[in-house]
Structure 1
């Protein structure tokens, strides 16, 4: 159960429209509908009659509405009544970041900022896996900053009128395998993909889930390249989890260069192709609300390193 599910339900009850309620909650309609369905699944009842327009509450929905409203009020009153933790309110900056960025570049950026921002306290929310789930942390006001990859293959539904961004750097998603990988008739080396294409042999594949940033982007990469046969072995939203599987010799995987730089240098992993068309260049951006007015968050924003956007076009 999540408080935002209850808030979604109350907004929907007031709007009687999934599209208007999603707009009011600053999420896509598909994400909003999914959250209402998650609430219904958790409760074990149907709250909304979806058979016609406008959307109407079922009998169970009408009975649950005052319960949801009371619960929301209770939680907000409780939050307001609790004393601030160690009086960190003005000094703490909350950040949402994709997991691979949280363990590679983000710690270095924050370390440089601490040198010029005495008293800075930062908190990084865990990666929620899906694109929409991570974006909701920003659009829902849970965080001051959101750090993510950006690529034209993956659309981020953020209005430029409501959010601003900085380009922090660039990254490459590279196809890699472990020398431990054993395949009949193939050798785990820098032309493994080309070998598999010539012999029409499927490669064991470590995949990202379809809702994750890299999962969406790689789907488009494969659609534009020669048909590479892949036999799914394992899926995860977390790059470092897939890295561990790749190191164990489970199969082919696309991973961020910053995450595997040492593995490539030490020979624990090797490129599966040197053809740049099999890699994925991405931009690294930080986003924040334009109406943010917290002094420490503003100071950290000004201290973030900036870089020129990569040569490939990007969009939000």
Structure 2
């Protein structure tokens, strides 16, 4: 049995798609499928139901997933353990965070440095763009925490017993554009005419969520004029008058207040409301991680209304 087979299986359990999982694992789909079959032969049981679409784990596969996830995480923890910082007295806590939340929520929640446990260094790792890539850092032990948006349109296939989360708040993702385009965009959307659209692409969290939201509204027509997985990049393009973008309200609050961006419709069906969540790996048992978890837990109720 090879470690990459387990990593393949964990990846497939999240994507429920052999083609997407193969792309993420940088192998051809036939090679990926062969490795999953080899893992099933080693396990002595079918782990994936290939008849259904999308693919789904069998009963044996769901039982095996927790063990496979822990084995992969333990492997990378063991690898890191043999390379401790030689003289660094600080413990490093790594938070994998979507880019917008790294800008808006982490400073908001932690506030002063005094709110961090003593002798702790916070390391915020960048958004990798794709949902699977970001989740994979938490699953494989590459990060202690994962700070993300969440919505039923983009389900995370994470075992809540193994990956508990704190609900930090709710945020609206609003359709906005530069004020000089406001009337024209509003008219186009009201009459099912195409609008210039600033897209997140197909792999990012907002890209997937918005594509599914738009599928419910046949009357919304768009033509992509710019693509960027980062909200801050689309915000700059929206301010420059390129078109309409769906942006987190916490990111653009000042722009809305100053009239640099305007909301193009008040239709609640065209507003995406998302949760903000902090996930952790239940088996990441370092005391400093427990302390950081407690900081977020204790401050969640206090600050969630301000973030909503």
Question: 2:189 and 2:82 mapped to 1: Cα distance?
Answer: 63
Instruction: Give the aligned partner of residue 48 of structure 1.
Output: 31
Instruction: Give the aligned partner of residue 58 of structure 2.
Output: none
Which of these residues, 199, 216, 232, is aligned with residue 207 of structure 1? 199
Aligned length: 263
Instruction: Give the aligned partner of residue 170 of structure 2.
Output: 170
Report the TM-score, using the length of structure 1 for normalisation.
0.73
C-alpha deviation, 1:180, in angstroms: 3.8
Instruction: Give the aligned partner of residue 155 of structure 1.
Output: 155
Cα gap change, 1:106 to 1:32, in 2 (>3 Å): same
Which of these residues, 208, 217, 223, is aligned with residue 209 of structure 2? 217
Cα gap change, 1:249 to 1:299, in 2 (>3 Å): same
Question: 2:108 and 2:98 mapped to 1: Cα distance?
Answer: 15
Which of these residues, 227, 232, 236, is aligned with residue 228 of structure 2? 236
Is the counterpart of residue 251 in structure 1 residue 243 in structure 2? Answer: yes
Cα gap change, 1:206 to 1:86, in 2 (>3 Å): farther
Q: Is the 8 A contact 2:151 2:275 kept in 1?
A: yes
1:276-309 CA-to-partner distances (Å, cap 9, x unmatched) read 221111111100011221111110100112249x
Instruction: Give the aligned partner of residue 264 of structure 2.
Output: 272
C-alpha deviation, 1:80, in angstroms: 5.9
Report the secondary structure of 1:243's partner residue: helix
Instruction: Give the aligned partner of residue 281 of structure 1.
Output: 273
Report the TM-score, using the length of structure 2 for normalisation.
0.75
C-alpha deviation, 1:176, in angstroms: 0.1
Q: Is the 8 A contact 1:113 1:303 kept in 2?
A: no
C-alpha deviation, 1:106, in angstroms: 1.2
Cα gap change, 1:169 to 1:52, in 2 (>3 Å): closer
Question: 1:124 and 1:53 mapped to 2: Cα distance?
Answer: 33
Question: 2:132 and 2:94 mapped to 1: Cα distance?
Answer: 18
C-alpha deviation, 1:11, in angstroms: 3.2
Q: Give the root-mean-square deviation of aligned CA atoms.
A: 3.2
C-alpha deviation, 1:197, in angstroms: 3.6
Question: 1:80 and 1:265 mapped to 2: Cα distance?
Answer: 49
Is the counterpart of residue 22 in structure 1 residue 9 in structure 2? Answer: yes
Question: 1:281 and 1:273 mapped to 2: Cα distance?
Answer: 15
Instruction: Give the aligned partner of residue 103 of structure 1.
Output: 103
Report the secondary structure of 2:114's partner residue: helix
Question: 1:256 and 1:241 mapped to 2: Cα distance?
Answer: 12
Q: Is the 8 A contact 1:170 1:284 kept in 2?
A: yes
Instruction: Give the aligned partner of residue 84 of structure 1.
Output: 85
* Moved segments of 4+, more than 3 Å: 9-12, 23-32, 46-56, 75-83, 197-200
Question: 2:35 and 2:12 mapped to 1: Cα distance?
Answer: 22
In the alignment, structure 2 segments of 5+ residues that lack a partner are: 40-75
Q: Is the 8 A contact 2:198 2:227 kept in 1?
A: yes
Question: 2:156 and 2:190 mapped to 1: Cα distance?
Answer: 37
1:230-283 CA-to-partner distances (Å, cap 9, x unmatched) read 111011110000001001000000000010000000010000011222111111
